[in-house]
Amino acid sequence: MSSTDAEGYIAQEPDYLGAGHTVRSWLLTTDHKRIGILYLVTLLFFFLIGGAAATFIRLELATPPGDLVTADTYNRLFTLHGVIMVWFFLVPAVPSTLGNFLLPLAIGARDMAFPKLNLLSWYINLVGGLLALAALLLGGVDTGWTFYTPYSSLYSNSYVTLAALGVFIAGFSTIATGLNFIVTVHTQRCEGLTWMRLPLFVWALYATSMVIVLATPALAVALAMVVMERVFALGLFDPAQGGDPILFQHIFWFYSHPAVYIMILPGFGVVTEVLTCFSRRKVFGYEAMVFAILGIALFGFFVWGHHMFVSGQSAYASLIFSLLSFLIAIPSAIKVFNWSATLYGGHITFEASMLYALGFIGLFTLGGLTGLFLASVPIDVHMHDTYFVTAHFHYIMVGGMVSAFFAGLHFWWPKITGRMYSELWARLAALLMFLGFNFTFFPQFILGYMGMPRRYHSYPDEFEMWNVLSSAGAVILAVAYLMPFVYLGLSVYRGRRAGDNPWQARGLEWQTASPPPRENFGPLPVVTREPYDYHRSDEEPSAREGDLDFPNRSDTETR
């Protein structure tokens, strides 16, 4: 335990970054904050690889004929893009980086319940990632990220086994993280932090962890069955032996639909924290938000059949899955309405993280509403496997989730590094991302509506204009994604000191130094109030004190 001075600040103890400078001190750390940074590094690495594949895809599609890559290479490119982005970027994006860093801080704890397991999960993730990467470098996989049988199990001559094993192993890493989060929230909350006082970010991580633990093993068994079929020639999905390839789709989507919520729920949490802080408002309808999160996590398990309307499942099954998919829109809509109501009457300021968060709401709403189109059977039969579907899930995953990830990264960057980044460049990047994203993906809705199928490397001339627009937008988007690497990177060396709480936010993580000390807090905080107490419930919200752009140097710094 560290010694503290009269005000409770940790006396001159180095922060978690200064606690050791050797490579060993990073690779063998059990500090959840350092593990979060390790995840951030590997995650950005995979993001760049997945992004590079997407660049080639948009480059090929800039002209109607297939003139850049062969059809076979194109298959491998979009598989690479999907596998890397889904399992090595989107799924771990918020939980493993921001979640790992912030969960103990947000509940007033000194670390995760199982610090060693936490480190182990990073290594497991690394092994899985390297296996998948090896498969992709050796020649790639051509099945698409969904690994549909019987193509993946019987016919594909690409490195399916290796890639599937990589994803299988990475799955255990997320299970370990989810398990750790659940136990941590149950056992490590500080005094006074009751369940109904938890920040919604923590609730979102908790619900995500539940989904991770209960859904990921279904993916594991589906992939294990494909691998066994390939390696040992067991005919588990082989029609010649009485097998049914559709069974694979059922098990796969039993994981992969909830996986959508694994990817988006943490984003909900991040956005709630950011919106309340920059509108200086209590969150509207806290309980409703909690139950919406839990409801989405639960109902997410019962809608997987909406991916299989044209796979030959019974019409009754399709109708029920369609109905359930419509119902899950209710809790999602509750969240969007409550965010809007939170903004209403608030003192809104447009910091970069707020811009990202507002962008999230817009893009997620559009993605969610087009999801309702696809949840209705007749429209899905028409739209299935067209660019409309591609656009829909990119609005959720990239527009929604990546915006939320960047919102969180910008919001907590001062806490993580102790430095402020250039607000001007950050706002510019946020606006550019919103613009570039819509520029890239909105034309794909139109292409899908016109009937352009996904996963082809060439297309008839009539689709050219919209594809050119989409590829041009992708250039803007790429610039917007690369900008934060520059100004966030520079801020580490040149940024102003952030102080403990530059945004005057109310979460517990802001009650300690930036960057936090190894033990997170001096004496552990005691919670006596509701979360998001930006104003008293009988008072109107008031503007933030002091200069908005130049946070005051805090007590910790002048000590």
Partner 1 sequence: MPEALHEPFHDIGKQRSAEEAGIWIFLASEVIFFGGLFLGYAVYRLRLPEGYGAAMAETNLTLGIVNTALLLASSATMAFTVWVGREGLQRATVTGLIATLALGTAFLAVKGVEYYEDIRHHLIPGHPDFPVDVPGAEMFFSFYWAMTGLHGLHMAIGLGIIAWTVHAVRSDRIAWRETAHLHVVGLYWNLVDVVWIFLFPLLYLVGR
Query: How far, in whole angstroms, is CA 355 from its chain's centroid?
Result: 17
Q: What minimum distance in Å lies between the beta carbon of 511 and partner 1?
A: 17
Single out the residue of 375, 284, 299 nearest to residue 335, CA to CA.
Answer: 284
Segment contacting partner 1 (CB under 8 A): 40-48, 181-189, 311-319, 472-480? 181-189
- Choose the stretch contacting partner 1; rule: CB under 8 A; options: 102-110, 196-204, 393-401, 448-456: 102-110
Reference 98, options 25, 174, 39; nearest CA is 39
**Alpha-carbon distance 262 to 219, whole Å?**
13
| Cα(529)–Cα(506) distance, integer angstroms | 10
Q: Angle at which helices 32-60 and 403-417 pack, to 10 degrees?
A: 140
Among 68, 69, 224, 320, which residue interacts with partner 1 (rule: CB under 8 A)?
A: 224
Out of 221, 298, 348, 475, which residue is the one contacting partner 1 (CB under 8 A)?
Answer: 221
How many Cβ atoms sit within 10 Å of the Cβ of residue 469?
Answer: 17
Nearer residue to partner 1 within complex by CB, 254 or 364? 254
Asked if residue 225 binds partner 1 (CB under 8 A), the reply is: yes
Place of tokens 């609730």: 203
Q: Which of 10, 175, 292, 383 binds partner 1 (CB under 8 A)?
A: 175
In the complex, what is the shortest distance from the CB of residue 483 to Cu ion, in angstroms, rounded to a whole number? 32
d(CA 56, CA 241): 40
Phi then psi dihedrals of residue 517, to 5 deg: -70, 170
How many residues belong to the site for Cu ion (CB under 5 A)? Answer: 1
Which of the residues 450 through 479 are near partner 1 (CB under 8 A)?
none
Binding Cu ion by CB under 5 A: which of 257, 281, 384, 415? 257
């292409």: which residue's tokens?
447
By beta-carbon proximity to partner 1, the closer residue of 209 and 325 is 209
Rank residues 257 and 392 by Cβ distance to Cu ion and give the closer one. 257
257, interface contact from partner 1, Cu ion, none, CB < 5-8 Å by kind = Cu ion
126 sits near partner 1 (criterion: CB under 8 A)? no
Q: Which does 431 bind (CB under 5 to 8 A by kind): Cu ion, partner 1, none?
A: none
Residue ranges in 70-129 that form contacts with Cu ion under rule CB under 5 A: none
Peptide bond into 150 cis (omega under 30): yes
232 in contact with partner 1 (CB under 8 A)? yes
**Helix spans in 107-159 (H):** 115-138
Q: Is 190 in the site for partner 1 (CB under 8 A)?
A: no
Q: Among 193-201, 214-222, 283-291, 449-457, which window interacts with partner 1 (CB under 8 A)?
A: 214-222
Count of CB atoms situated within 10 Å of the CB of 489: 11
Contacts of residue 115, Cβ cutoff 8 Å, sequence gap at least 6:
30, 31, 32
Stretch that binds partner 1, among 91-99, 241-249, 277-285, 533-541 (CB under 8 A): 241-249
Segment (H or E) for 485: helix 464-494
Nearer to partner 1, 230 or 347 (CB): 230
DSSP 8-state secondary structure symbol assigned to residue 15 = B
The stretches of 188-311 forming alpha helices (DSSP H) are 200-232, 245-279, 286-299
Among 61, 162, 164, 251, binds partner 1 (CB under 8 A): 251
Residue of 188, 325, 471, 512 that binds partner 1 (CB under 8 A)? 188
Q: Please say which residue, 58 or 518, places its beta carbon nearer to partner 1.
A: 518
Which amino acid, 423? Answer: E
Q: 90, 112, 165, 357: which one contacts partner 1 (CB under 8 A)?
A: 112
- The whole-angstrom separation of Cα 115 and Cα 121 is 10
Could you give phi then psi for residue 419, rounded to 5 degrees? -125, 155
Question: What is the CB-side half-sphere exposure of residue 258 using CA atoms within 13 A?
Answer: 26
- Measured from the CB atom, the residue of 253 and 360 that comes closer to partner 1 is 253
Nearer to partner 1, 115 or 453 (CB): 115
Q: Which is nearer to partner 1, 86 or 220 (CB)?
A: 220
Q: Which residues bind partner 1 (CB under 8 A)?
A: 30, 104, 109-115, 117, 175, 178-180, 182-183, 186-188, 213-218, 220-222, 224-225, 228, 232-236, 241-244, 247, 250-251
Q: Which residues bind Cu ion (CB under 5 A)?
A: 257
